[in-house]
């Protein structure tokens, strides 16, 4: 139904002047909407590569999801759409810039809940088209992987433990876009185990802080819970059996506050043990991998990112492991551990500096492993129509 | 005044550019899926056909639903991003209104627009001489049919593609205060509280 006789060839890319990262500072607006936080941030990357975060706004949807004991995708998508404009406006205002100062728009385009991802990505496409500047489709996991650089420069290579409500994986990071999977969960994410265990004990949502609070007054050895893959040579995780074991143990208990506290403490201890053990294996794999290429890089760097890294007991366990294994722990501040748009703007800035931009027909991807080669050849979890998660 | 019309609520991905007198360019593709990929390039193509640039757009009219929840968010989210830097006003118009306006340009009839929103429900709206007498409402099919019959309308319109030009023009006389670009979801999110309890309606 075209009223004009001539249809031009498809134009996926608007006419943008080429960005020169060596002579220009880049000002990037980042947008994040892959789960239950709507976030926008503005970041300046100088021509020498220095990072200055100008603003970072996060609107949490906790109150919408709390009654359900978990994130409801359709509720999340609706909430993203209703606040996205306000959040972007606040990020630009607080950064004290004009829209015309922006060099590019970076938006999470996966992996995540597709309704939310589409909302953020389409706003980004509208902005990029409106301002005639490049669009950068960012992998949410790459944002987490680079997030330590938001507080202090963290040189490559490093070992990354990404542990959140949606992901649990160990990656070797050797550069922008250069990730090697060392291990991953084969079923649930660690954060999911926190949320689901809190739900069965009636502790509320989100489960992480609730369980951490309850665990303070409980005995960590009160319940013996399963530790799948413990001491195995690979670095994979499995958490689905743990949440089931928590549910069974809770059913059999007297459901008193003492039982809840004991079970929370035992659960947290189990997660600590598993993360520590699996990370230790990955540290050995990481060292082997480096020894073949670079010999003198000790002390090695270990980065932990993702919402579960907010748990103090887990941080302490990993800190202790790092001391044992000769690693320096680089944990981004809490505000950059959980989902945020600053890390998306950062990943976008680094990609722009390498000349990587995306066309306006770029897809939102529910699944998008960082190490696509390993995910394709050696998937850690079931594939399904959207492909492997990791 | 140049108005951009956007519709991604159903099978078609539609982009139109109109001024007060003419259709400058109109594209509509029955793609079924992939609106999130197709919409932005299609806006560029439509601007190109009309010989305009993005800076010429004075107003945006978006079709707000009913339709696929993910689909209707595509055009709404895109419009929000497009409008932000220059504070272009965005007008929301629902598909039921577009169908009625297209059917009755003289505004002389009583019209009912009906959309099958699945799961045994219809979302419908009624108009008399161009004035809305029943805002969009979602009901079980039997109940909806009975209420529609009572109105004895001159015309009954059932699901059809949204005319991009009519959509854009409907925005001409409206302001964001009168017709905000709010999504028209035909039902609440499909989620049950622990214990299978249906949650109360929320503002999201």
Q: pTM of the full predicted structure?
A: 0.93
- For B62, list phi and psi in degrees, rounded to 5: -115, 140
Residues 6+ apart with CB under 8 A from A317: A272, A273, A275, A276
**Cβ proximity of B82 and A129 under 8 Å:** yes
Shortest distance between the Cα of B149 and any Cα of chain A, in A, equals 34
A194/A272 same-domain check: yes
pLDDT of residue A8: 47
pLDDT at residue A69 in the model: 82
Distance of residue B199 Cα from the nearest chain A Cα, in angstroms:
9
pLDDT of A74-122, one tens digit each? 999 999 999 999 999 999 999 999 999 999 999 999 999 999 999 999 9
Cα–Cα separations (whole angstroms), residue A249 to A69, A222, A358: 19, 11, 50
Domain assignment present for residue A8? The answer is: no
Q: How far is A77 from chain B (nearest CA, A)?
A: 8
Strand-strand pairing, A135-139 and B3-7 = unpaired
The parent domain of residue A121 ranges over 13-149+336-377
- Shortest CA distance to A108 belongs to which of A176, A18, A25, A41? A41
Residue B133 region by backbone torsions, left for phi larger than 0, else alpha for psi between -120 and 50, else beta = alpha
Q: Are A255 and A298 found together in one domain?
A: yes
Same domain, A91 and A218: no
A373 within domain boundaries? yes
Nearest residue of B to residue A116, measured between CA atoms? B70
Q: Do both A360 and A283 map to the same domain?
A: no
Question: What letter does residue A359 receive in the DSSP assignment?
Answer: -
Best residue in B46, B79, B204 for a mutation probing chain A (most A CBs within 10 Å): B204
Tracing tokens 């039997």 back to the chain, one arrives at B142
| pLDDT tens profile A326-338 | 999 988 888 899 9
pLDDT in tens, A128-141: 999 999 999 999 99
| Beta carbon pairs, A and B, within 8 Å | 145
Three-state SS annotation for chain B? CCEEEEECCCCCEEEEEECCCCEEEEEEECCCCCHHHHHHHHHHHHHHHHCCCHHHCCEEEEECCCCCHHHHHHHHHHHHHHHCCCCCCEEEECHHHHHHHHHCCCCCCEEEEEEECCCCEEEEEEEECCEEEEEEEEEEHHHHHHHHHHCCCCEEEECCCCCHHHHHHHHHCCCCCCCCCCCCCCCCCCCCECCCECCCCCCC
Q: Total structural domains in chain A?
A: 2
> Do residue A323 and residue A348 come from a single domain?
no
Across A166-188, average pLDDT? 93
Assess if residue A221 is contained within a domain: yes
Could you tell me where the DSSP H helices lie in chain A? 62-65, 73-94, 114-131, 140-146, 190-200, 207-215, 240-252, 257-291, 312-325, 334-337, 342-353, 372-377
In a domain, A387, yes or no: no
Name the token pair of B72.
């209707």
Rounded Cα distance, B28 and B50, in Å: 15
Q: Is A115 on the interface with B (CB under 8 A)?
A: yes
* Tens-level pLDDT at each residue, chain B (204 residues): 999 999 999 999 999 999 989 999 999 999 999 999 999 999 999 999 999 999 999 999 999 999 999 999 999 999 999 999 999 999 999 999 999 999 999 999 999 999 999 999 999 999 999 999 999 999 999 999 999 999 999 999 999 999 999 999 999 999 999 999 999 999 999 888 877 888 876 555
What span, in angstroms and rounded, lies between the C-alpha atoms of B146 and A110? 45
Least confident piece of the model among A4-8, A32-36, A300-304, B103-107 = A4-8
3-state secondary structure of A324: helix
Q: Tokens for A42?
A: 């503005």
CA A95 to chain centre: 24
Per-residue pLDDT of B153-177, as tens digits, reads 999 999 999 999 999 999 999 999 9
Tokens 């498809």 belong to residue: A10
Match 């959980």 to its residue by tokens. Answer: A338
Cβ distance A145 to A173 under 8 Å?
yes
Would you state the pLDDT for residue A378?
73
Q: Chain A residue with minimal CA distance to B57? A: A130
Q: Does A62 touch chain B (CB under 8 A)?
A: no
Residue A4 lies in a domain: no
pLDDT, greater one: A297 or B149: B149
In chain B, the residue whose alpha carbon lies closest to the alpha carbon of A61 is: B204
Query: Going by DSSP bridges, is the β-strand pair B13-18/B3-7 parallel, antiparallel, or unpaired?
Result: antiparallel
Share of chain A above pLDDT 90, in %: 76
A126–B81 C-beta distance less than 8 A:
yes
Residue A10 pLDDT grade (very low, low, confident, very high; cuts 50, 70, 90): very low
Same domain, A138 and A175: no
Q: Say whether pLDDT at A296 is over 80.
A: no
**A5 in contact with B at a CB cutoff of 8 Å?**
no
Claim to verify: residue A320 and residue A177 sit in the same structural domain = yes
* pLDDT at position A144 over 70: yes
Which of A222, A218, A217, A223 minimizes the C-alpha distance to A242? A223
* CA–CA dist A349, A35 (Å, integer): 22
CATH number of the domain residue A284 falls in: 3.30.420.40
Average pLDDT over residues A290-296: 64
Q: How many CB atoms lie within 10 A of CB A213?
A: 12
Alpha-carbon span B204 to B194, nearest angstrom: 20
Residue A120 shares a structural domain with residue A198 = no
Answer yes or no: do A135 and A160 share one domain: no
A167 and A308 in one domain?
yes
Give the total residue count for chain B: 204
Read off the pLDDT band of A384 (50, 70, 90).
low
Residue of A nearest to B27 (CA): A2
Mark residue A374 as left, alpha or beta (left: phi above 0; alpha: psi -120 to 50; beta: remaining). alpha
Asked whether A207 and A196 are in contact (CB, 8 A), the reply is: yes
Separation in Å, CA of B146 to nearest CA in chain A: 31
Same domain, A165 and A310: yes
Residue A68 · residue B194 · CB < 8 Å: yes
Nearest to A115 among B73, B194, B202 (CB): B73
Residue A243 CA neighbour count, 13 Å, CB half: 18
Query: For chain A, what is the mean pLDDT?
Result: 90
Q: Are strands B13-18 and B23-29 parallel, antiparallel or unpaired?
A: antiparallel
User: Rounded distance, CA B117 to CA B121, Å?
Assistant: 6
Q: How confident is the model at residue A4 (pLDDT cuts 50, 70, 90)?
A: very low
Examine residue A383 and state whether it is found in any structural domain, yes or no.
no
d(CA A119, CA A77): 7
Asked whether residue A142 falls in the same domain as residue A167, the answer is no
- Domains along chain B? 3-95+161-170 (3.30.420.40), 96-158 (3.30.420.200)
Between A358 and A9, the more confident residue is A358
Reply yes or no on whether the pLDDT at A3 is more than 50: no
For A112-123, the pLDDT digits (tens) are 999 999 999 999
User: Is residue A382 in some structural domain?
Assistant: no
d(CA B16, CA B63): 12
């Amino acid at each position: 139904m075209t009223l004009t006789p001539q249809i031009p060839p498809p134009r996926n890319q608007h006419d943008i002047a080429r960005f020169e990262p060596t002579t220009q500072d880049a000002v990037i607006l980042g947008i994040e909407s892959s789960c239950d936080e709507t976030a926008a941030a503005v970041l300046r990357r100088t021509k020498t590569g220095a990072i200055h975060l100008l603003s970072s706004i996060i609107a949490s949807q906790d109150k919408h999801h709390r009654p359900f004991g978990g994130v409801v995708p359709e509720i999340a998508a609706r909430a993203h759409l209703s606040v996205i404009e306000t959040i972007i406006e606040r990020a630009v205002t607080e950064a004290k810039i004009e829209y015309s100062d922006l060099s590019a728009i970076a938006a999470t385009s996966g992996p995540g809940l597709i309704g939310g991802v589409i909302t953020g990505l389409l706003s980004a496409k509208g902005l990029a088209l409106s301002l005639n500047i490049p669009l950068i489709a960012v992998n949410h996991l790459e944002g987490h992987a680079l997030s330590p650089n938001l507080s202090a420069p963290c040189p490559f290579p490093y070992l990354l433990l990404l542990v959140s409500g949606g992901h649990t994986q160990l990656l070797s990071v050797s550069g922008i876009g250069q990730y090697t999977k060392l291990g991953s969960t084969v079923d649930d994410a660690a954060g999911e185990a926190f949320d689901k265990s809190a739900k069965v004990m009636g502790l509320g949502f989100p489960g992480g802080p609730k369980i951490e609070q309850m665990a303070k007054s409980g005995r960590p050895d009160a319940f013996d819970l399963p530790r799948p893959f413990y001491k195995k040579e690979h670095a994979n995780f499995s958490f689905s059996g743990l949440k089931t074991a928590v549910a069974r143990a809770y059913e059999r208990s007297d459901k008193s506050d003492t039982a809840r506290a004991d079970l929370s403490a035992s659960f947290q201890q189990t997660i600590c043990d598993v993360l520590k053990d699996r990370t230790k294996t990955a540290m050995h794999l990481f060292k082997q991998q480096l020894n073949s290429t670079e010999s003198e890089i000790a002390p090695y760097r270990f980065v932990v990112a993702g919402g579960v890294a907010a748990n103090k007991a887990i941080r302490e366990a990993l800190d202790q492991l790092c001391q044992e294994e000769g690693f320096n722990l680089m944990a981004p501040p809490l505000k950059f551990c959980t989902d945020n748009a600053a890390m998306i703007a950062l990943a976008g800035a680094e990609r722009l500096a390498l000349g990587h931009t995306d066309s306006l027909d770029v897809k939102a991807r529910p699944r998008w492993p960082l190490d696509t080669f390993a995910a394709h050849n050696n998937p850690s979890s079931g594939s399904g129509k959207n492909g492997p998660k990791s | 005044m140049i108005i951009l019309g956007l519709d991604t609520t159903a099978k078609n991905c539609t982009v139109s550019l109109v001024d007060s007198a003419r259709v400058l360019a109109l594209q509509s593709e029955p793609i079924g899926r992939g609106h999130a990929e197709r919409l932005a390039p299609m806006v560029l193509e439509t601007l190109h056909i009309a010989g305009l640039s993005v800076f010429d757009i004075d107003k945006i009219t978006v079709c707000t639903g009913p339709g696929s929840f993910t689909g209707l968010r595509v055009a709404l989210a895109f419009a929000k991003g497009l409008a932000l830097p220059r504070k272009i006003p965005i007008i929301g118009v629902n598909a039921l209104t577009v169908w009625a306006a297209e059917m009755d340009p003289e505004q002389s009839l009583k019209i009912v627009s009906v959309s099958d929103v699945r799961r045994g429900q219809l979302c419908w709206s009624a108009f008399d001489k161009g004035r809305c007498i029943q805002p969009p409402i979602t009901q079980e099919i039997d109940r909806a049919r009975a209420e529609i019959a009572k109105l004895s309308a001159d015309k009954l319109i059932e699901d059809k593609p949204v005319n991009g030009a009519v959509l854009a023009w409907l925005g001409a006389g409206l302001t964001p205060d009168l017709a905000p670009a709010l999504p028209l979801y035909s039902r609440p999110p499909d989620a049950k509280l622990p214990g299978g309890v249906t949650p109360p309606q929320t503002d999201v």
